[in-house]
A and B are shown apart, each in its own frame.
Chain A
Amino acid sequence: MTVESKQQNDIRRTVKKLALIVVGMCFFVAALVPLYDLFCEVTGLNGKTGGPYVFDEAKTSPDTTRLVKVNFLTNTNQGMSWDFWPEKGAVRVHPGSANTVSFYVKNTTGRPMIAQAIPSLVPSSAAEFFHKTECFCFEQQLLQPGEELEMPMRFIVDRELPRNVQSINLSYALFDVTERIGLPENMQVLDNQVSPVTGG
């Protein structure tokens, strides 16, 4: 083998290795998305709360030695003119007990719209100890013009909640997803729950 053809072979081998790095980094960036979600779910870092939770009331007893204050915040995302408010601004609950609060939403526009509520919880260290067995954020809401809806939310603060957490802020941002989801063809539908989604 001459010196030149050996060099050409070496170059080809280097290029193949480098191309592998490029392809590998492409897979890495694709994997970043699920990894990010997983990381946030495990650590609760971005304040996302989990999906529907199965709660067996018979097996746990409330921790009556302490009360945790849960504050509710609601807002609509930019450009969405619905009214959206909680029944109570805050409740005091015992960890381990099931509680129900209501949220209200009203379509103040002149057209049917679909909304999706996205929760966010502060402090993030409490996110994994906040469970919801029922939440309007697990579904989307289709409201006719002027229609108002009461939406229950049932939650349990885990008994394992760190003692230093004395208050939890749960915020819901309401997004207009009418265009993303698309209105059903028959606009006379009055069923408020369109399609359940998991998570939320």
Chain B
Amino acid sequence: MSEVIHADHHDDHAHGPAKGMLRWLYTTNHKDIGTLYLWFSFAMFLIGGVMALVIRTELFQPGLQFIEPEFFNQMTTNHGLIMVFGAIMPAFVGLANWLIPMQVGAPDMALPRMNNLSFWILPFAFSMMISTLFMEGGGPNFGWTFYAPLSTTYAPDSVTYFIFAVHLMGASSIMGSINIIATILNMRAPGMTLMKMPMFVWTWLITAYLLIAVMPVLAGAVTMMLFDIHFNTSFFNAAGGGDPVMFQHIFWFFGHPEVYIMILPAFGIVSHIIPTFARKQLFGYTSMVYAVASIAFLSFIVWAHHMFTVGMPLAGQLFFMYSTMLIAVPTGVKVFNWIATMWRGSMTFETPMLFAIAFVVLFTIGGLSGIMLAITPADYQYHDTYFVVAHFHYVLVPGALFSIIAAVYFWIPKWTGKMYDESLGKLHFWLSFIGVNVTFFPQHFSGLAGMPRRIPDYALQFADFNMISSIGAFIFGFSQVFFLYVLIKTIRSGAPAKGRSWEGAKGLEWTLPSPAPYHSFTYPPEVKSEEAYG
């Protein structure tokens, strides 16, 4: 506690948050901004979730019951965009803001003002995008992948709002990433070498590099769309000498690293939770770091596996098939390391651990269906069916999302100083676990049987699977409202939490009191070997 007492003598430091609501607008404190990011992403998660439930309601039975196909298309598109750019990514950035300075022993992020800006851009970007739903002609209806010419020649008039919203999100992500890298590379406490960094910090360092590399590519793609729509260019217009297939190449050159942007920080989170509740050190720390780095590298050379059916020469198909399958190797290293960490550990099953174990199991299922999709000849059958929908929801919902929920349960004692109600947490876990599997597992079957994705109606043979899916979706949806209740209850009336909130928790953040003081590590802490992950 000596540094806290020491800080009291300096009156030029603000000791606590400013008063009033404007505090949140002006704040440059990494904990405040982390909180803003997390609540924003939760709000977006609920909005995107409502859209998913609109989709599942329409698909409850065959035929068109509730909404027009045009509106259905807007729902699938906005559900995807909001969940990817509004829920998952800002949630990880929020966790990075809260945790990285505490985990590396820094007083704050390297660029606090830019941090404020990169958050406050987001509400404007998403207001702009969601507002298009209420415009004449409707909002984006071309799928979250916005393939040209659907998103150019045939796009609704509101597409320009969508383009600028994507530009803003990209700017926010790039600034956030620069901030994270600058913090990690320059502000680690003395003694914390790169290979002693916590796994969450490592995964975010690599993720931030991915973001910096691919967000300009996304910005380029939407800028070309903008020019095609308004300035009569022909980047993606065959009549003018352009090529719509080029859009898919550019999009997926961004899109595949983007997929790993949404999962690498999840790997980091799980690598903290499993050792804590297995009360063992993470198995194979070094191999974990190299596995994440290899996955990041491979993500740049596999993009065309999303577009096997565009007509590629055999050599291209083989290259993208084998390079994609190669990703299973480092991913397998990680999964086996997590299992080896649990092996003969003194395991207990608190809520974060339950979510983390479900992550390992269900993410692996999603990974294995990914291997099936990587097989080029088989992909011709699976392409654009519900099998793909099942695959990417298995890696994104019980993958990325479960890791975020696990992280919230794991670190909320540190953030609020309050412990959540364990039995409510476990109830939330089981509802989510059952809901997610009931929703997405049947979609493997309807997909293999040939049900196409992004269609509001379907053949009678798919009726049972869709009904099960819709029931699961409502269970899952309402269990996340229950999550909100658990969180509010924790913040208002949770039992006080200890500084080291979990028996087996290691890392600098657990050396701080709970809740973590508004300013922590004003003077760099000493990194003891038992707190380092080396």
- Interface positions of A (Cβ within 8 A of B): 7, 10-11, 14-15, 18-19, 21-22, 25-26, 28-30, 32-33, 36-37, 40, 43, 45-46, 77, 116, 118, 124-125, 173, 175-177, 180, 197, 199-200
Contact = CB atoms under 8 A, between A and B. Distances in A.
Given A18-B178, A19-B178, A200-B241, A29 B217 contact: yes
B220 A32 contact: yes
Contact of A118 (B216, B239, B312): B239
Interface in B204-254: 212-217, 219-221, 224, 232, 235, 238-241, 243, 245-246, 249-250, 253
B194 interface: no
A45 B313 contact: yes
B185 interface: yes
Given A11-B110, A25-B216, A46-B243, 11 more contacts: A11-B182, A11-B186, A21-B213, A22-B215, A28-B217, A29-B219, A29-B220, A30-B220, A45-B316, A116-B240, A118-B239
B111 interface: yes
Contacts of A40: 243
B246 A11 contact: no
A175 B235 contact: no
B241 A199 contact: yes
B274 interface: no
25 contacts: A7-B187, A10-B186, A11-B186, A14-B185, A14-B186, A15-B178, A15-B182, A18-B177, A18-B178, A18-B212, A19-B178, A21-B213, A25-B213, A26-B220, A33-B246, A36-B246, A36-B249, A45-B312, A118-B239, A124-B313, A173-B238, A180-B232, A180-B239, A199-B241, A200-B241
B169 interface: no
Contacts of B216: 22, 25-26, 28-29
B240 A180 contact: yes
A40 B217 CA distance: 20
Nearest to B241: A199
Interface of B is mostly: helix
A34 B241 CA distance: 12
Contacts of B212: 18, 21-22, 25
A12 B412 CA distance: 33
A9 to B, nearest CB: 9
Contact of A22 (B174, B235, B250, B313): B174
Nearest to B310: A46
B243 A116 contact: no
A175 B187 contact: no
Interface of B: 110-111, 174, 177-178, 181-182, 185-187, 212-217, 219-221, 224, 232, 235, 238-241, 243, 245-246, 249-250, 253, 312-313, 316
Contacts of B238: 77, 118, 173, 175
Nearest to A7: B186
A37 B241 CA distance: 10
**Main SS at interface, chain A:** helix
B239 A11 contact: no
Contacts of A43: 313
A149 to B, nearest CB: 18
- The CB with the most chain A CB atoms within 10 A, among B217, B239, B253, is that of B239
A7 B524 CA distance: 12
A159 to B, nearest CB: 23
A97 B243 CA distance: 31
Contacts of B215: 22, 25
Nearest to B224: A33
Contacts of A22: 174, 178, 212, 215-216
A137 to B, nearest CB: 11
Contacts of A37: 243
A46 B232 CA distance: 23
Contacts of B312: 45
Contacts of A197: 241
Contacts of B181: 14, 18
A37 B224 CA distance: 15
Task: Enumerate the 8 nearest inter-chain pairs by beta-carbon distance, A residue then B residue, closest first.
Answer: A29-B220, A175-B239, A25-B216, A10-B186, A26-B216, A14-B182, A11-B110, A18-B178
Nearest to B154: A78
A177 B240 contact: yes
Contacts of B213: 21, 25
Contacts of A7: 186-187
B261 to A, nearest CB: 14
A25 B249 contact: no
B246 to A, nearest CB: 5
A183 to B, nearest CB: 15
A200 B241 CA distance: 7
A77 B220 contact: no
B245 A26 contact: no
A63 B55 CA distance: 61
Given A11-B186, A36-B243, A180-B239, A29 B250 contact: yes
